[in-house]
Copies of this chain bind each other. A is one copy, B any other.
Amino acid sequence: MAGNKEISQAVIARLPRYYRFLDTLEAMGTERISSQELSKLMHVTASQIRQDLNHFGGFGQQGYGYNVTYLKDEIGKILGLDATRQLIVIGAGNLGRALLNYGNFSKSGFLFTAVFDADERKIGDRVGELTVQGMEVLTAYLKEHHVDIAVLTVPRDSAESIARTLIDGGVKAIWNFAHIDLDVPEGIQVENVHLVDSLMKLAYNARESEAK
């Protein structure tokens, strides 16, 4: 039965991974799977899989396991992949463009609706389907359009002030690629992708592992 307690971030963070494996299984034509089999595939314990899923509901059947398509769809619903989210990108640099051109987001219902940049010379540039707009029209844009998530791919120094503009404009979620930890008010969601941190962690582990 679905619990009603606060669900930990550790559990949430694992959901997309379940979804990914189930998607692959479905594509391979697998109809059913037990927590045991899935656990071998994913290198986690079967216990953890069952615990995680039961935070949201009983999706399996005793003696049978889980129906792959059904479970995938249910996790999709939990993650909200059945709905469309409007995303805007702030910063039309290399990273911003890479994200805009990356095809994998739209499959999951994430739709880019606008790009902004402070650099005069970039304004008017085409990126995929979109045209780069100046930063000065951002506030006006936010008044007229619904934005679910703002993607921040700007230099460190401008990140904090742009974040404030976004929040003042009603944005509730920021996907932050700037190399800084944004200080945001209660109720605003920030997900950081600190590439440098990630690389440093890898480098540390690589050296540790070599040293043995």
Tell whether A46 is near chain B: CB-to-CB under 8 Å. Answer: no
Tell whether A195 is near chain B: CB-to-CB under 8 Å. Answer: yes
Interface size class of A (residues with CB under 8 A): 35 or more
Tell whether A165 is near chain B: CB-to-CB under 8 Å. Answer: no
Chain B hits for A181, CB < 8 A: 17, 20-21, 42
A179 touching B94, Cβ below 8 Å: no
Identify the closest chain B residue to A81 (Cβ).
B200
Of A31-39, A114-122, A204-212, the one contacting chain B is A204-212
Tell whether A143 is near chain B: CB-to-CB under 8 Å. Answer: no
Q: Which of A62-118 contact B (CB under 8 A)?
A: 78-81, 85, 93-95, 97-99, 101-102, 104-105, 108, 110
- Distance between Cα atoms of A21 and B104 in the complex (Å): 33
Tell whether A1 is near chain B: CB-to-CB under 8 Å. Answer: no
Q: Which of B191, B200, B209 is the one whose CB lies under 8 Å from A202?
A: B191
Chain B hits for A110, CB < 8 A: 199, 203
